[in-house]
Amino acid sequence: MTHALVIGEALVDVVHAADGTVTEHPGGSPANVALGLARLGRHTELATWLGKDPRGELVSNHLTSSNVRLVPGSDHAERTSTAQATLAADGSATYTFDLTWRVPEVALDDTVAVVHAGSIGATLTPGGAAVAEIAAAAREHATISYDPNVRPTIMGAAEAVRPQIEHLVSLADVVKVSDEDITWLYPGESDIDAIRRWSRSGPAVVILTRGGTGSVGVTATGVEVEVPAPRVQVVDTVGAGDSYMSGLLDALWSSRLLGAKRRDALTLVDAQTLRSAMEHAGRIAAIVVSRAGANPPTLQELEREAHS
């Protein structure tokens, strides 16, 4: 097992700040996960859909400068997609999208430790169906991880997208979902009840993130772990969930729980190992929300913080 393969959108976030200023930054949930993994020292490939235009160059340079390798064919889009991100005074963000999505050809073999998919790229046609097919095929070789990271303005009604999301959950070994996503998908249902149900549908581990409150993990064997979030001054929440996802995968990788041959071990993960992974992910997410934009820490930053 030598690398991670992330599949999904990379785009430009056009950020409208509360003070009226507008800036452009590379973004996209799966791209942020790939960036986070690469900065943690993991060899990472991203299969995405960029244009050969200035915005595509901005995104490509941003990713490759942190050692994310773009899968060949990822630059065949007619134009690079955008997300209009509007920040509230508390740093929270809402999004509207101009996005097109197809999946370039990917290679699957036993050198892939984990295949991660999520957000718009996992549900938007025509690429969404291909993502599910790749996830199913990749189970022979790798751990499958998934983050629904719902975006109602482009995904449509919850009733329409819910079957796709539940199918991807059933294919995955590791699922991370926010409380806001669960509320949108299952209005009126307890978030913990929803992830317990998901944990019985296929995944070894389902993690529910609750912003500043912390996270809850549930395993297929019934282990449940709750971890508080570190106290931090929030600048904005852009990329927080994505950085949590990359941190979670990094910790499970360090615990030798990734890869198809480790699926049984992952299913039997104990409470302490899961807690440590969630704490690691939470520390990384806390760093990201303490500074502007989706700017995950490097391995060196984490090591300096641990010794400070």
* Distance separating alpha carbons of residues 180 and 234, to the nearest angstrom: 18
Asked whether the predicted pLDDT for residue 6 surpasses 90, the reply is yes
DSSP string, 35-89: HHHHHTT--EEEE---BSSHHHHHHHHHHHTTTEEEPTTTT-BSS--EEEEEE-T
Inter-CA distances, 16 with 49, 96, 110, 155, 191, Å? 24, 11, 43, 22, 31
Residues 6+ apart with CB under 8 A from 232: 286, 287, 289, 290
**Once rounded to an integer, what is the mean pLDDT over residues 225-249?**
89
Q: Domains (ranges, CATH) in the chain?
A: 3-306 (3.40.1190.20)
Asked whether the predicted pLDDT for residue 148 surpasses 90, the reply is yes
The model's confidence at residue 237, banded by pLDDT at 50, 70 and 90, is confident
**Once rounded to an integer, what is the mean pLDDT over residues 245-252?**
97
- Can you give the pLDDT at residue 1? 61
Asked whether the predicted pLDDT for residue 200 surpasses 90, the reply is yes
Mean pLDDT score of the chain: 92
Of 14-18, 23-27, 70-74, 241-245, the range with the lowest mean pLDDT is 14-18
Asked whether the predicted pLDDT for residue 229 surpasses 90, the reply is no
- Can you give the pLDDT at residue 67? 96
Find residue 117's DSSP bridge partners: 7, 146
**Once rounded to an integer, what is the mean pLDDT over residues 11-16?**
87
Asked whether the predicted pLDDT for residue 98 surpasses 90, the reply is no
- Can you give the pLDDT at residue 301? 86
* Distance separating alpha carbons of residues 115 and 89, to the nearest angstrom: 36
- Can you give the pLDDT at residue 288? 83
Confirm if 249 and 207 have CB atoms less than 8 A apart: no
- Can you give the pLDDT at residue 308? 67
The model's confidence at residue 302, banded by pLDDT at 50, 70 and 90, is confident
* Distance separating alpha carbons of residues 241 and 211, to the nearest angstrom: 8
**pLDDT digit string (tens) for 266-294?**
999 999 999 999 999 999 999 988 887 77
* Distance separating alpha carbons of residues 167 and 175, to the nearest angstrom: 12
Residues 6+ apart with CB under 8 A from 124: 99, 101, 154, 155
